[in-house]
Amino acid sequence: MTQKHEQIRTEVLAIVRRLAPEVDPARIIPDKPLRTQIDLDSMDWLNVLETIHEKLGVNIPETDYGKVVTLDGIVAYLAEKIPAAPEE
């Protein structure tokens, strides 16, 4: 996993923890549906996606919801959408 992917993963898990503080990130299985693992209803899930948009600047259109079902899927999707940081 690249540093970019790790940073995105850390931020996504922080967002999940803010919206569902009872969730233990260490227990999340990255290739299993995230919403069912952390027991979020549809409105809570939309809040997760909206917070991702606010914090990371990436809008996830409804047509792409199927790509962001798992933690791995979310990270991969965001990694494609977020520009790489300039090399110093």
Nearest CA to 63 among 77, 84, 43? 77
Q: Which CATH number does the domain 3-81 belong to among 1.10.510.10, 3.30.70.141, 3.40.50.300, 1.10.1200.10?
A: 1.10.1200.10
**69-86 average pLDDT score:** 90
The SS3 call for residue 2 is coil
pLDDT at 1: 74
Q: Please enumerate in sequence order all residues whose Cβ is within 8 A of that of 6, keeping only pairs 6 or more positions apart, or say none.
A: none
Q: Are 34 and 65 in contact, with CB atoms under 8 Å apart?
A: no
pLDDT tens track for 28-75: 999 999 999 998 999 999 999 999 999 999 999 999 999 999 999 999
pLDDT of res. 83: 83
Q: Would the pLDDT of 8 be above 80?
A: yes
What is the pLDDT, as a whole number, of residue 28? 95
pTM: 0.89
Residue 13 has pLDDT above 80, yes or no: yes
